Each structure stands twice: as structure tokens, then as C-alpha cells.
Structure 1
Amino acid sequence: MMRQYELVERVRRYNPKTDEALLDRAYVYAMKAHGSQLRASGDPYFSHPLEVAAILTDLKLDDATIVAALLHDTIEDTDATKAEIERLFGHQIATLVEGLTKIKKLDLVSKQAKQAENLRKLLLAIADDVRVLLVKLADRLHNMRTLKWVPPDKRDRVAQETLDIYAPLAARMGMQDMREELEDLAFRQLSPEAYQSITTRVSELRQRNGPLVEEIERELRDELARRGIEADVKGREKAPYSIWGKMERKAIGFEQLSDLYGFRVIVKSVDECYRALGVVHTKWAIVPGRFKDYISTPKPNDYRSLHTTLIGPRRQRVELQIRTRDMEEIAEYGIAAHALYKDPSGEPGPMLSNESRAYAWLRKTIENLSQGLSPEEFLEHTKLELFHDQVFCFTPKGRLIALPRKATPIDFAYAVHTDIGNTAVGCKINGTIAPLVSELKNGDEVEIITSKAQSPPGAWETIAVTGKARAAVRRATRTAVRAQYAGLGRKIAERAFARAAKVFTEEAVAKATPRLARATPEDVFAAIGRGEIKPEDVVRAVYPEWAPPRADERSNGERAPNGEGWFELKRAHNLKFKIPEGASAERLDAIPIRGINGDLPVRFAPNGGAVPGDRIVGILTPGEGITIYPIQSPALQNFEDKPEHWLDVRWDLDELSDGRFPAQIMVTARNEPGSLAQVAGAIGDRGGNIEGLQMRTRSADFTQMLIDVEVFDLRHLNAIVTDLKARAVVSSVERVNG
């Protein structure tokens, strides 16, 4: 275990002005607080926070962060309190330790909502101070290094959590070395056979190639020196998890990999970066399509470098990264390399406004993801933001938009502004009209075409790639659905008040909202539309003295408040069932139905549908809206004992309407070649649209066809039926009413 003086010496190497007394106090306090506690390995528990602090000294972090690392488990696992830590070490360190204490163990497998809430706490704590993340990543790295001591049933969960959350967070913060180690440690646990196979093959390749890496390093260095460029060239094999990821993405075997080696060329200036690029491109053949300039266009995590792939020395395909020493430090340490917290006192000071792009991304992500999402949605969208490499696109005015790979113009629109995404109706990519579902490529110029009349379709949620776009689509869809239910509920409420002979005003409903346990009249109407509140209860809340007539006070000819005057409709098969009297006529005060694209949550009977010209009945299903049935549908008998679900509805269509409506017909045709073509031809000749078809063999001579057809109205449907009956191959046609 590291001694007290050894820790101080590690900090002093990069910070000669370190507060040695502060580090000593923290070391002693944490050691005493953890006392005789032991880790699963049998080591003193204090060895863990000490190792976490040691990892952070490699990142050259300030005194406050090192002290927070030493104390990070004291509040959670010992008798220490925040007040005591604040008294001994100051407010700043106490806040850091408390931020870490709030982060509970995540459970990725079985407690997703709890995990999401804890992830939210983690991100919010990081948003207040990024050093919380640095300590947490170091904590997770040491836990992964000692994973073998964790009970076997927990190892996979911890490893999977590391791959899903912590490694991507390290990558987004630009901490590539930490990311690679976290990934490889998790990969070794989750896929031990694959890990062993890859490491064995890499070892065999290393023995077969001999000192290949050293030879390529030397040749690159010598070639640059001949051109007057002094460079430090570092070569290495790719990490096992990186190799595995490439094999998985491209569905190839190990033998097909041709770029297992990566080389970094470190030069003094940006000018020398481009000069070095010119040297290697003129000396060796390049692999087309593999050049990326992250100097002129840095990644969101501040990473800057030139990337290219060459057929280099010994005809070996190698990936080359060219960067300056400052860029190398940021590439290695990421956000920890910034001067934001380099002041020895640990105070952020005036440089707080100079926060890195990576930290700015994190703040923006938290802002986007913390708006009205359920815990599960928050977790899903955060993962979407953490993963994926980037593509860089531009607005027509030259603004750079960084998006995940496979992003679409929908993602682009929401990245520009939520209002742009919500009103998008089309796009131009590089000046050419393109579908909104197109996959964007690096360098694309994207122009979004908008319309104020547009609202995002719910299907966009499955098309969008970014968490921001998906969350925005979901919010907009919920808002639109809520507006539909509120509109329906308002109409139902107005009719309930009219039946009760009471005056309906929104102001009166607003005064009654406390009695209905709702905050606003809009909430009341939406609840009525969803079937959560009965309209009579709203009337009673506004007019407490009113009471609906009792059932025995109603006559068959008298209209009741719920439309519960009854009559009997006799079907051809002599089945009797009751339907509300109001449903039997096209009443002017009934709810108007314009189709599924109107402003009400409407759908049609699943088996048979309904078309204009039918006498119709509306059934309100809680949470699903109105289902429209033709009055002759036998399915209505299922609702005979639920009169509160029946609604008076009527068609409200003008003569110029071109909307289509669903119906079903059963066609019995002779079982001979061409019969289906004749049936489809008859429907098509009349302008009908076939939506679905089921073939049922009735006998050797005849086949039944159950056809879902879309028509304009009842006359259109009857015309199709007449034409079908006129076909020689058709034996019979009848409409289906489910």
C-alpha cells in the first residue's frame, strides 16, 4: 500500500506548490475513518481510495481532486459526515465528496429505473463540478482492475455497466487511454474466450512479424527528419476490444484485418502537422477515404489530430495520427489536460469560462435530457448521446453540426433547434432535395425545409439516432395526443352540460379543478377524453346540487344525460342488443368525425371499419380514444353493459373531401387462374385501394378472399361490390361487419 510521503511525492512531481499538509490530513483522516474495513480481496479498504488518488495523480490533477479521491467513500461507508469534512477540509472538498456519495451502485440488469435515476444524479453532480466525473472514472478503473475479487454473480453486471456508461463517458471527455483500459477489462470479463483468442492471435502475429513496429517507427522518423521535421513516432498494436469491435462492425474475421498497427507522429506545431502529412502521402500510397482532419474540425471532446491510413513500410497497412504535443496531451488525458482546475489551490478562478468543449457538451446533454423524461427514457437517450462516432455537417450559413454516425436530417434539424425539428417537412442535402430519412455523410450541407402546419410524426422516434431528437419527437407526440384528448374531452363535457341543462364555461370548470384533482381545465378535458373522468362527475363538480336521473326515472323515449334512452335493433340473425338512442340518428350536437387524421383520437372498428354513409356509434375506450363502429356491427353487444362508454357521433365531411375509410368485404370466387387478378382489377377500376388480403380455401372449386379495402364513402363501396358481382368468376360478395 502506498505510503503517505509517496502520495505527496507523486503530486509534487507535477505541482511543486502542492499543499502537503492538506494531503497529509486527508490521508490520515481517511485511513482512520475506514479503520479495519476490508475489501473483498482481504486488503485494507483504505487501499482503494489510495489507489484512486494515485490514478488521478497520473492525470496531474489539483489538490482538491486528490483529497476528494481519498475521502470519496467516507460519508457513504463510515461515520463521517459532510459537516465534519467541510469543517476539516473546506466547502469545496466537502461538496465534491457529497457529489460522489449521492452516486449509488448502478444496477444495469434488473433495476433499470433505479439505475437511470442514479445516472441522472451522477450527470447532475458532474454538471456542477467535472472533477466528480474524474474521481468516479478513477474509482471505476480501480474497481475493474480488482474485479476478480468481486462475487462471480456481480462481475458481469459491473463489466457491462462499465461498457455501457463509464467507458463512453471517458471517451466523451477525451480520456482515450482510460477508455481503452476500461473497455479491455470489461471485455476480458464479458467475453473471456474472444479476449483470449484475439490476444493469442496478436501475440502470434507479433512473433511472426518480428520487430515490425520498431522498423516502421524508425523509417517514418528518418523520412521526416530528411525533410527537416523533428518528430517523435510511437507505434503500438490495437487494443483487443478495438480489434473485436472492428470485426463485429464489419463482420470479418481476424485474418481479414489489415490495420492492426497504429502510429502517432508528434511534432512541434500545427504547420508541421500538415507538412508531415504531405511527406507521408508523397512517400507511401494512401488508402482512399481514410483521411480525416480533426485539427480544422475538432471532435466535440476537443480531440485534434490528422488521421490517415497508408500502405507503409514493408507493404504493411498502418493507421497514422499526426498531432502536436499539446494535442497529444489532450488526446491522452482529455478534459483533465485543461487548465480549468490546474490552480494549486484547487479554486476554479477566472478560467471557469474557458471550459472545454467536452464539458460544454456534457452540460448541454444534461440540459437536453433532463426535461420531462421518465427514468428509462433518460437512460436510453443518454446512452444514445454517449455512443457513436461523429459525422460533421454544415448549415447553409456554414455552422458546423456534429452528429452520430447514421444520423439523418431529422437529427440535424433537432440539433439546430427543437422548433426546426418539430416543423421539418423536407430537406436539401448539398442542394438536392432528399428524404428526411437519408443517412448523412461527413461534409454534407443540409438545409431543412419547414412548415408551421407540421408536427413531427411519432414514427420519427424510431428513425432518429440522437437522444435529443428522439426525446423531442416523443414530447411533441405526447403534446399532440394530449391536445387530441383534450379536444375530445371538451366536446364530451359540453354535451354532458347540455344534457343536464346546465351552462358550460371553462371558467366554471377551472374553479372546480381542485374537486377533480386536476390542475387546469385542460387537464380535466384530457382526462375526460382518455376516459379517466366521467363527464357527469365534472357537471357535479361545477354544480354540486345537480344529480343525474335514476335509471328507474327514465323511459324508453326520454333522453338521459348519458344518452341512455334505449331502443332495440333486430339483426337478420335475430340477435337482440341495446344501443344508445342518440347513436341512431345523425344528431347535430353529436361529436363530428372527420377520419383518423382529424383533431380527435379516432380509430375504426378493427374488423370491418366504417365509412361515411354508415350510421355510426362511438365507443370511448380509456386511454385509446374513440372507436367508430357502424350501427349494424355485432361487436357493439360487447358494450351493452357499459353505457358510459357510448358516444353520440356523426360524420362531418364536405363533398370535396378525398379521405379514404376502411371497410372489409368477403369475396367468394371460382378457384381458377386469374380470379384474383379479376377481383383486384374490379376494385382498382373503381378507384378502391386494397390494404390487406387473406385467401381462404372454402372448397376445391371456390376460394374466399377477405379483403381490406379503402373507399371514399358507402356509395363508393356499394359500387365496388356491384362491379365485383358482375364478374363471371365471382360467386358472391358481402360486406363484413366485425
Structure 2
Amino acid sequence: MNVPDETEKTRAETAYCDRLFAETMQLASRFDKNIDLPTLRRAYRFASERHKGHFRSSGEPYLVHPVHVARILVDLHLDAQTLAAGLLHDVVEDDLKTPIEEIEVNFGNDVATIVDGVTKISRMQLVSDKENQIDNFRKMLLAVAKDVRVILVKFADRLHNLRTLDYLPPEKRLRIARETLDVYAPLAHRFGMARVRRELEELAFRYADPEAYARLEAQVAQRKDEYWNAIEQFCDEIRAGLSKRGMPAEVSGRVKHLYSIHNKMVSEGKELSEIYDLLGVRIIVETADQCYDALAYLHQHYRPLEGRFKDYIGNPKSNGYQSLHTTVTNNQRTVVEVQIRTREMHEVAEEGIARHWLYKEGRATGEIDAQMRWVRQFLEWSKDIRDPSEFYEQLKIDLFPDEIFALTPKGDVIPLPKGATALDFAFAVHTEVGLHASGAIVGGRIVPLGYELQTSDSVRIITSANQKPSRDWLNLVKTAKARTRVKQWLRQAEFALNVEIGHDLVEKRLKKAGLVIPEEEWAAAAAAFNMKDREHLFAAVGAGDLAPERVFDHIRSMVAPAPTKEEAPQKELPGADAEAGGIVLSGMDNPLVRIARCCNPVPGDPVLGFITRGRGLTVHHRECPNIRQLKEDAGRLIPVRWEARDVIGGAGPFKTAIIVKGSDRVGLLSNVTSTIASTGANIRHAEIRTLPDGAHSAFLLEVKNLKQLKRVISKLRKVPNVVEVHRLATEGDDEDELRAMIAGSPLPFAEESPDDEDE
């Protein structure tokens, strides 16, 4: 907001603003004869006084902006409280020094709540790579959940700002455009507000990628006459054909808007000339039955494209959208997308959640409650997500729900996002069904839980009282509900180990710094992080939800002054002697502990643990190259050691890879494999290659522990013509990866001694 040298506002400027406001009120009265005009006039006078002497970057009086925002809200047929909030939405900015309490006293709690919510959202940076942007986005959704009119005013605010974006510096234009495309347009889509979404996308696209916008605009303009001639001819044919069937219809056509075309070109890697479904026709009839009659007419007279029909009347989208979609080729062989809907469906499709607001009664309808449910559910299901990429990936799924519709055995329809699995379906039916799901029957055949469902699939979930979730389930689910429920179960099941890991991580830092915290201080430390007690504090650290450095820094500030920069502890790998303490690996059946696939350590190897946020403890060989690369993250490395009985011979089997090199001869491979088998080790995969210098073989083995592996290597080295045997770090256990093992480098470990041999 620019504040030039104080000059008296000219009468012309005042008259201009007054005229805009009068036109807006006239339009509002046309939509609602009982609208509260006195309150709106008071809001206008209040805003006029507070914005007096302030001007926009364009040079216009600042008051022009809130009046235009109110005009956009009038076009959405919203109530007087929302219009008042639109007029007042900028008066609480820092430089105007208007407390929100003053808004509440003068205009009531509802208007104050909306203004407060819009003000808070406007101050947030919603597009950033920083983790704290997750909290900002949650705060925005909390404000929307409190009163949906908050986001409606923000949409209007953003729309008018985009219409006047030319006057801002380039870097600010880019930031606003990217934020619009990444946040506000998807939200408008999720709330079913197609008209608002389209304008947000078109305006933002122009500034987010000016070159692409200008190039595409010019290309479409060159073919404008061709496009419109085809559309008008097709519309005339449909209009006449339906009229002959006694079905008068409103038929209109359009060329897809530029941002939609751009997205299609980018996603499919095509040029404009290769995009064939650029034209769209909309048919509006009186009843739902007529929608299906119009569809039948189209398919009788024009060739429908296979797989392009969607019935969103029988299966409405989660944002309330209803329509029939089909794509046909007309008589000129032009591909046209067609939408068929009733007038009421059309209004809902264009205005979405705003269409359902009952301004006369000042309350939300059941449709709004249904559309707002996803906001509350997303806030609940995502509250434990701390990884920004995971948060925004899940948000993307929820904002763009390309849906399928699966059926229960009783015929109930379960809407799910495209790509959802049988396990997602199980959790959608009931949490307990999901937690005990062991398989599914789809279309009469048994399928695994990771089976991807399609529309119209009939699904029956097989459950078992003994079944329980594993961390692998997180790779099988797509919906936020299923992911959250699995994580909650794992967190509860893994609580004890998380406490142990967290305790070790925190205590290691305290001990190194020579700090001792009295027992009574732990409660305050836990409360500082909103934790119930010390155990829950340690558990959060162990689960990766809370960085141990944050806990250590807080405790250090409680009991001792912060060290100087020179005194700050250096990050380093835990020493080998740390293995005397740390986490004891007494078996690998705990879902929180995983063997690193990059180095495949076996019991007896020197090992270190690495805390992966949200995934628990990964055990690496101490000489694993990846461990050395993690030195900058040494705070997440933790000492671990094998329990003695596992080293002697117990848990397993554990995967590990070896390379065998020898001079080629008849029967060498047979001798090598039989030698491996004689030790009791199991060959999972093998890759054999004959090279000029001899035969090289890569084996992925399953062994019980290091002792058994050493026995394998020792015996193989005694096979005639074998010249070298060594272990190899591998990225996985697939055959393609085994082929890459030939060129790999050995993993160091202690040499065998004669005592290790077992003849």
C-alpha cells in the first residue's frame, strides 16, 4: 500500500469510488431485495475513512480495491455479512492500525471473524520449500473451516489483485502468480467454483510464464476463426436435433482456456497442432432424465470416443459437481468434448460452494457442510505430517480428486481418488476393517491389498484378527485417511522403541555437552514442545517428528548459557566404541527397524543406525559409503549393536551380496553353487558373466549372520579356479540390480580367521 505526500483527495476520486459502490449496491439489491444496505453503507464509510490518503500502485485510491472485491462477491450472490467483510478486509493491515475488536463492535462477530481470517491468510507465505509453510497452510485451512466465507473473500481479493497486477514489480507479480496457481486455483477447484478457478488460472498463467502464455495465445488466435466455425456449426446441429425431439436446450460452445491447453501440452509432451480435443460444447436441459436423452441423441448421430464417457450425475464428484461428459467426433471429423447438465447443476458447477450459502438465514446449508468435510478431514489426517513434500503431495491428491467409484457387496458406492487400492477401500469402509485387512476379492477373484481399483469394481475385504499393519502398507495406500490410520497404529505399536531411540539421541548430546538436567525439569522441557511427559518427548524424537537438536538446544538454554560459535559441537560420526551402548538389535521383526538395502549388514557386522523421519531406524554397515555421505546429518546417527545370540546364530535370514571371480572352466558354476548350498545359505538371485579375464558371478544370498557369511566366503575361496571372493553393497535384490553388481566395489569388513571355518 503506497502512501504519497499528503494531498487532499480530489472530488473526482471521491465521486469515482462512490459511483462504484452505488453500482455494486444496486446490483446486490437486484439479487436480494432484502439485503442489509444500511450495514453495507456503514462498512463503506468505515473503509473510506481508514483508507483515506492511501493509493494503490496503479495510482488509484486504495478504496477502489475493496469496492471491486465486494462487486465480485455480489456476482457470487453472497450475503451482506460477506460483502461487508469484503469492504473491510484490508482495514486491519499493520499500517492502518485498526484492531479486529473494533470491527466486531461495529459490525458483529461474523464480519470480524471473516476479516480476521482473510487478514491472517494475506500475511502468510503459502508457497515455499520451508517446513513451517505446512503450519501456514494448516492455519489457512483452520480459518476456512471456521467460516467458509473467509476463502470466498480471499478468492475475490486475489481475483481483483490479478486483474491489476501489471503495476507491481516483476518479482512480486511472479510470486503472486505462482501462489495463485499452486494454492488458490486448486482450492477454488476443490470448492467447485469453476468460473473463479478459470479466471484465476488464466490471469496467473499470464504472469507465471509470460513467454509460454504469449506464444500459446498467438497460436490459438491464428486458428480462432477455424475453431469458432466448427463450434457454431456443431452447436446449431445439436440445437436443431434436440428441438426435433421435443427437447429445447441451451447449447453453447467454447475453446478450452489457455492454461488448460498449456497443461495438456506439457503433461503429454505435445505441440498445439497435436492436441485434438480443444473444443467444448455445453448442453443445458431441464431435467436429469433429459440429460440422458440428450446423451443418447449424441451417441446415435456422432461417433463417441471409447473410454471418454463419465457419469457425474449418477456419481457426483466430491465437490458436488454433476454432469454427463462424453467426447464425440462430428461430421467434419472434429473432436469435441460435450458436457450435459441441468440449469441447477450448471449453477453449482460454476459457483460451487458459494451457490449453497443461504444469505437470508445467515447459515450454511447441508451441501456446504458436505463440501467442508474434506477440510476438516484433511486437517485431522495430515496433523502428523511434517515432511513438506509428503504434505503437498497429499494435499494435491485432495485438491484434485480424479475419482473412481467402487462398490461394497451391498452396492454402496465408495468414492476414492484415482489410483486408490483395495487397502484404501478397506479404510474407507471402517478403520477396524482396514487395520485387519489381509486381502480382497474384486470381481470374484482374490487380489492383494495393493491392487489398484477401477470404477464399478465390486470389492469385498478379507479380514483376519491376527492381521496387523506394517510399514510397507504406507507404500500401498493413496488416501490421507488410510495413511494417517496406518501411521497412528505404527506409532502406537512402536512407542517403546521410539522412546528408547529418542532417549539415546538426546542423552548422547547432553552427555557430550556435560549437561545434567534435574528430574523436575523434564516436565517443563516436554511441555515446551506440547508433549505430555518425558516419554512422549523421547518418542517424538525417536519417530523423527522432532529433531533431537531442537530438544538439546532448549534444554541447554534451561540449564546453561549457549556455547559460542567456536565452542559449538562439531558434527561427527559416532565412534566404534559407541557400540557398547546404543540400541540393541535383538531381532528384525520390529516394523520400525529396517536393514539398509544399500549395504545389507548382517548380524556381527559393525553397524550404525540412522533415524529416517517418519520411518524409524535404518541399520547400515559402518563402512557403508552412504553413512559417510551423511556426516552433515550426524545428529540423526545413533549407535546400535547386535544382541549376542543373533551373532551366534539366530534371527534372519539377512540378505547380502557377494562377487565370485575365477578363471573359466567346465563345472565352475556348479561347484560354486553347491559350495554355497553346503553352508546352509540360500541363493535368492544370481548373475553370471564370462569376461576375457575369466568368469564373474554375482550372488544375492540369505544368511543367518556374519559367521555363516564368512563360512561361505572361506569355502568359496578354496574352490579350484576361484581367484577372488568379496562382499558387495547393493541397492536392492532385483536381477537388473544384480547385473550392475559386477562393476561394484567391495565392502570392507574383518578378514576371516581359520577359527571361523566350519568344515
The two structures have a TM-score, normalised by structure 1, of: 0.77
Q: Distance in 2 between matches of 1:382 and 1:414?
A: 19
Q: Distance in 1 between matches of 2:264 and 2:714?
A: 62
The partner residue of 1:670 within 658, 663, 667 is 663
Is 1:27–2:48 an aligned residue pair?
no
Please state how far the C-alpha of 1:226 moved relative to its aligned partner.
0.3
Q: Distance in 2 between matches of 1:513 and 1:114?
A: 26
Q: CA 1:54 to 1:672, structure 2 compared with 1: closer, same or farther past 3 Å?
A: farther
Q: CA 1:401 to 1:367, structure 2 compared with 1: closer, same or farther past 3 Å?
A: same
Q: Is this contact kept in 2: 1:411–1:469, CA < 8 A?
A: yes
Please state how far the C-alpha of 1:658 moved relative to its aligned partner.
7.9
The partner residue of 1:650 within 644, 648, 651 is 644
Aligned partner of 1:729 in structure 2 is 721
Aligned partner of 1:124 in structure 2 is 142
Q: Which moved more, 1:419-428 or 1:682-691?
A: 682-691
Alignment of 1:432-447 (within 5 A): 432-447=445-460
Alignment of 1:624-703 (within 5 A): 649-651=643-645, 659-662=652-655, 667-670=660-663, 679-680=672-673, 682-683=675-676, 688-689=681-682
Q: Distance in 1 between matches of 2:338 and 2:459?
A: 30
Alignment of 1:348-427 (within 5 A): 348=363, 352-353=365-366, 355=368, 357-370=370-383, 378-427=391-440
Please state how far the C-alpha of 1:406 moved relative to its aligned partner.
2.4
String of CA shifts for 1:78-132, please: whole Å, max 9, x gaps.
2222222222212221222112222244435546334322221221111111111
Task: Tell me the secondary structure at the aligned position of residue 414 of structure 1.
Answer: helix
Aligned partner of 1:306 in structure 2 is 324
Q: Which moved more, 1:194-203 or 1:161-170?
A: 194-203
Q: Is this contact kept in 2: 1:487–1:600, CA < 8 A?
A: no
Q: Unaligned 5+ residue runs, structure 1? A: 493-508, 534-576, 584-589, 636-643
Q: CA 1:233 to 1:603, structure 2 compared with 1: closer, same or farther past 3 Å?
A: closer
Q: Distance in 2 between matches of 1:376 and 1:451?
A: 34
Q: Distance in 2 between matches of 1:319 and 1:82?
A: 49
Task: Tell me the secondary structure at the aligned position of residue 121 of structure 2.
Answer: coil
Q: Distance in 2 between matches of 1:453 and 1:216?
A: 61
Q: Distance in 2 between matches of 1:701 and 1:458?
A: 45
Q: Distance in 2 between matches of 1:730 and 1:441?
A: 54
Please state how far the C-alpha of 1:629 moved relative to its aligned partner.
8.7
Q: CA 1:68 to 1:182, structure 2 compared with 1: closer, same or farther past 3 Å?
A: same
The partner residue of 2:68 within 51, 75, 82 is 51
Aligned partner of 1:712 in structure 2 is 704
String of CA shifts for 1:310-333, please: whole Å, max 9, x gaps.
222433221111111111111111
Aligned partner of 2:169 in structure 1 is 151
Q: Distance in 2 between matches of 1:119 and 1:352?
A: 25
Q: Unaligned 5+ residue runs, structure 2? A: 1-15, 506-517, 549-574, 628-637, 728-747, 751-759
String of CA shifts for 1:649-679, please: whole Å, max 9, x gaps.
3216999x78313567674522679856753
Aligned partner of 1:537 in structure 2 is none
User: Which of structures 1 and 2 has the bigger CA Rg?
Assistant: 1
Q: CA 1:659 to 1:242, structure 2 compared with 1: closer, same or farther past 3 Å?
A: same
Task: Tell me the secondary structure at the aligned position of residue 253 of structure 2.
Answer: strand
Please state how far the C-alpha of 1:379 moved relative to its aligned partner.
4.5
Aligned partner of 1:204 in structure 2 is 222
Q: Distance in 1 between matches of 2:197 and 2:44?
A: 28
Alignment of 1:615-630 (within 5 A): none
Q: Distance in 2 between matches of 1:444 and 1:717?
A: 48
Q: Distance in 2 between matches of 1:276 and 1:208?
A: 26
Aligned partner of 1:239 in structure 2 is 257
Is 1:597–2:612 an aligned residue pair?
no
Q: Is this contact kept in 2: 1:592–1:651, CA < 8 A?
A: no
The partner residue of 1:195 within 187, 207, 213 is 213
Q: Distance in 2 between matches of 1:129 and 1:528?
A: 35
Q: Is this contact kept in 1: 2:310–2:326, CA < 8 A?
A: yes
Q: Is this contact kept in 1: 2:586–2:643, CA < 8 A?
A: no
The two structures have a TM-score, normalised by structure 2, of: 0.75
Q: Is this contact kept in 2: 1:664–1:737, CA < 8 A?
A: no
Please state how far the C-alpha of 1:178 moved relative to its aligned partner.
0.9
Q: CA 1:713 to 1:283, structure 2 compared with 1: closer, same or farther past 3 Å?
A: same
Give the AA of the match of 2:362: E
Q: Distance in 1 between matches of 2:395 and 2:620?
A: 40
Please state how far the C-alpha of 1:407 moved relative to its aligned partner.
2.6
Q: Distance in 2 between matches of 1:278 and 1:578?
A: 76
Give the AA of the match of 1:285: R
Please state how far the C-alpha of 1:57 moved relative to its aligned partner.
0.9
Task: Tell me the secondary structure at the aligned position of residue 401 of structure 1.
Answer: strand
Q: Is this contact kept in 1: 2:254–2:281, CA < 8 A?
A: yes
Alignment of 1:190-339 (within 5 A): 190-208=208-226, 211-338=229-356
Give the AA of the match of 2:28: V
Q: Distance in 1 between matches of 2:579 and 2:335?
A: 81
Q: Distance in 1 between matches of 2:541 and 2:45?
A: 64
Q: Distance in 1 between matches of 2:525 and 2:137?
A: 36
String of CA shifts for 1:234-271, please: whole Å, max 9, x gaps.
11111111112222333333222222111111111112
Task: Tell me the secondary structure at the aligned position of residue 414 of structure 2.
Answer: strand
Q: Distance in 1 between matches of 2:410 and 2:648?
A: 45
Task: Tell me the secondary structure at the aligned position of residue 251 of structure 2.
Answer: strand
The partner residue of 1:139 within 136, 141, 157 is 157
Task: Tell me the secondary structure at the aligned position of residue 406 of structure 2.
Answer: strand
Q: Distance in 1 between matches of 2:98 and 2:699?
A: 73
Q: Is this contact kept in 2: 1:610–1:628, CA < 8 A?
A: no
Q: Is this contact kept in 1: 2:185–2:200, CA < 8 A?
A: yes
Residue correspondences, number: 651
Q: Is this contact kept in 1: 2:129–2:388, CA < 8 A?
A: no
Task: Tell me the secondary structure at the aligned position of residue 393 of structure 1.
Answer: strand
Q: Distance in 2 between matches of 1:175 and 1:701?
A: 69
Task: Tell me the secondary structure at the aligned position of residue 321 of structure 1.
Answer: strand
Give the AA of the match of 2:643: V
Q: CA 1:428 to 1:21, structure 2 compared with 1: closer, same or farther past 3 Å?
A: same
Q: Is this contact kept in 2: 1:300–1:358, CA < 8 A?
A: yes
Could you say what the CA RMSD is over the residues aligned between the two structures, in angstroms?
4.3
Q: CA 1:143 to 1:417, structure 2 compared with 1: closer, same or farther past 3 Å?
A: farther
Task: Tell me the secondary structure at the aligned position of residue 221 of structure 2.
Answer: helix
String of CA shifts for 1:27-63, please: whole Å, max 9, x gaps.
1111111111122222221111111111111111111
Aligned partner of 2:513 in structure 1 is none
String of CA shifts for 1:483-535, please: whole Å, max 9, x gaps.
3344789999xxxxxxxxxxxxxxxx9999649968557448859989999xx
Please state how far the C-alpha of 1:225 moved relative to its aligned partner.
0.6
Q: Which moved more, 1:387-396 or 1:4-13?
A: 387-396
